[in-house]
Amino acid sequence: MTKSVTIQPIATTLSPQAEEGQAIRLGGSLVYASRFAAIVRDDGKVIERYPFGVREAMQTLAPLGNEAERQWTNLAKQHAPLQLGERTIRLDQPQIMGILNVTPDSFSDGGDFDEDDKGRAHAAAMVEAGASIIDIGGESTRPGAAPVWEGDEKDRVLPAIQYCAGMGAAISLDTRRASVLEAGLAAGAHMANDVSAMRYDQRMAEVVAQSGCPVALMHAPGEGDDLHEGGAYTDVVSEVFEFLRLAREKAIVSGIAENRIVLDPGIGFGKSLSDNLALLNALPLFHSLGSPLLVGASRKRMIGALSNEEEADRRLGGSIAIATLAMNAGAHIVRVHDVFETVQARNVWRGLRDAALTDFSGVPV
């Protein structure tokens, strides 16, 4: 029998002064949490749940051991900026990562940008619209997609990396192959985005560690070509949490600096609609892992399932709704197709947050 504990924020507030200072800033974001639950599991089953506020935190957590106290510390951890080439990506507000698929078969925009001129124009438009990072992918990871030979993947992504580097963009390379990452970094990429959490290619951790580039580690149940295989969960939230905890620890043991690791719960990868909804509603929990959070649910199948099976190019409203939920959970990076609209939503969201932080009308004088 194995026991585990997780510390989950269960209530947020617009500003710490609204709770007379009894709130913590989640992951250095603009989101403040005031109520929490310490959840104890035995073999994956919840056996105890202890709700508490900031004042009772130490009293509640001390009997639960070092892991509970470590997670509490992580919840309030302020993350250093990501240095991507000459660009410094601060993580004290949500940053927008624009998707550039240079593939013929991606679920949403396959074939739209695999020609250099079209891809270059789209990348430039995303940068102009306010994308902090351009995420370039040369392999579709939609359910049922065939794996791509690494030579073909390089042929797709390297020209895109070069023209994005030429416009001064911060570049993330969405690949699970070490040789593709090596070539991409040499061509001007700055960050790895590995949807297999470095399990697909055993050399990936070595390449990331030696290069010193940041890496995003994503949850997916499949270890081989099919990332969606094996998506059966007893408790999807706790299982994804544990997966990311172990992936993070393995990366650190492999020599990857802790401040260069980003975690992604993998919305849509080997997960049912109910699984995805549970993970999205539990996003604040993942701050207790101690790394910045990346959320990518743009145009995904779950939006269609909740909106009359709309096609991928008609899922903007749902994508914005999920992006806003992610921001309300303190997500540091939101990966999207529709950059202009999401940046506008982020800017309005940021304005509302700033106004709440400077509003002291509810504080007694």
Q: Above 60 in pLDDT, residue 336?
A: yes
Query: Contact 257/205 with Cβ under 8 angstroms?
Result: no
Q: What is the pLDDT of residue 114?
A: 61
Rounded CA-CA distance 128/41 in Å is 47
Percent share of the chain, pLDDT over 90: 87
Q: What is the pLDDT of residue 345?
A: 98
Q: Which residues are catalytic?
A: 300, 335
Least confident of 103-112, 152-161, 179-188, 345-354: 103-112
User: Exposure string (b/e) for 11-26, b if CB count within 10 Å is 16 or more?
Assistant: ebbbbbbbbeebbbbb
Rounded CA-CA distance 19/268 in Å is 36
Residue ranges of the domains in the chain? Answer: 3-60, 82-353
Per-residue pLDDT reduced to its tens digit, 207-226: 999 999 999 999 999 988 88
**Residue 8 bridge partners (DSSP):** 37
Is the domain defined by 82-353 classed in CATH 3.20.20.20? yes
Mean pLDDT of the region 309-315: 94
Per-residue pLDDT reduced to its tens digit, 164-190: 999 999 999 999 999 999 999 999 999
Q: What is the pLDDT of residue 256?
A: 98
